[in-house]
Chains A and B, each alone.
Chain A
């Protein structure tokens, strides 16, 4: 996933994966070199998106924005319905400690 270190929705997204012990890789776009940022920018814009984060690739499917229901669907998680896309305040604004790897 591509994230920003300043973005609360990116933190929630990381925590969503961490809390479920789902390994993931993330790149904080704003902490990259200008050269790396340009590569990421091209990748995002080639997909018809703007520079809006979080940017989550699950398999071949891209999910832009905080969308826990889509994450669950794509990951095959069955945690019950009812958590709207923008829900999940308790997904927390901080990052958890789980299997994650910054690229």
Chain B
């Protein structure tokens, strides 16, 4: 499948998957296009559309947790940020994605511990 066709297929599929999770594509269309291009290239190279902003390791099971859309595997962390790590998806009520920060996992875990 050509890259552009695959990109559109991923766009269609992702929208259906993330909607019931309370997420949508980021309103930052330039970012979305860039990330989808990267995912198509990663899929062509590695057979899965991995997150372009998270690193793969030798652990296959761990790698499966960063196949896009990876929200279910990082739900609490991403809900805390109201975006996924790469920013492809944001909470449905987000209109200004630039206002959302990338919060490191260690900081999220610390804040979660402090809150309990």
The interface bits of chain B over 30-73 (1 if a CB of A lies within 8 angstroms of the residue's CB, else 0) are: 11001100100110000000001111111000000010000000
Contacts of A89 in B (CB 8 A): 28, 30, 98
CB-nearest residue of chain A to B34 = A8
Tell me if A16 counts as interface (CB < 8 A to partner B). Answer: no
Complex contacts, A99 vs chain B, CB 8 Å: none
CA distance A87 to B31 in the complex (A): 13
Interface residue from A7, A8, A30, A65 paired with B104 (Cβ < 8 Å): A65
Chain A residue total in the interface (Cβ 8 A):
31
A37 B101 Cβ-Cβ under 8 A: no
Query: Does B3 sit at the interface, judged by CB under 8 A?
Result: no
Tell yes or no: A58 within 8 A of B by CB. Answer: no
Q: Is A66 an interface residue (CB 8 A)?
A: yes
Would you call B95 an interface residue if the criterion is a C-beta within 8 Å of the partner chain's C-beta atoms?
A: no
> B28 — which chain A residues lie within 8 A by C-beta?
89
Contact assessment for A52 and B98 in the assembled complex, using a CB-CB cutoff below 8 Å: no
User: Size range of the interface on B?
Assistant: 20 to 34
Tell me whether A66 and B35 are in contact (CB under 8 A). Answer: no
Kindly state the separation between the CA atoms of A38 and B55 in the bound complex, as whole angstroms: 11
Looking at chain A's contact residues, the main secondary structure is: loop
Sample of 5 more A-B contacts, CB < 8 Å, known A37-B55, A37-B58: A8-B86, A44-B55, A47-B106, A66-B102, A93-B31
B38 neighbours in A (Cβ, 8 Å): 6-7
Q: Which of B31, B58, B100, B104 contacts A52 (CB 8 A)?
A: B104
Contact of B53 (CB < 8 Å), options: A47, A52, A84: A52
The 7 closest A-B pairs by CB, nearest first: A65-B102, A64-B104, A51-B55, A6-B52, A85-B101, A48-B106, A7-B53
Q: Is the CB of B104 within 8 A of A49?
A: yes
**Residues of A contacting B86 in the complex (Cβ-Cβ under 8 angstroms):** 7-9
Cβ contact within 8 Å between A52 and B57:
no
A-B contact pairs, 18 of them (CB 8 A): A4-B52, A4-B53, A6-B52, A9-B86, A10-B53, A30-B55, A37-B55, A37-B57, A52-B104, A52-B105, A53-B53, A65-B103, A67-B101, A84-B101, A85-B101, A86-B102, A87-B98, A89-B98
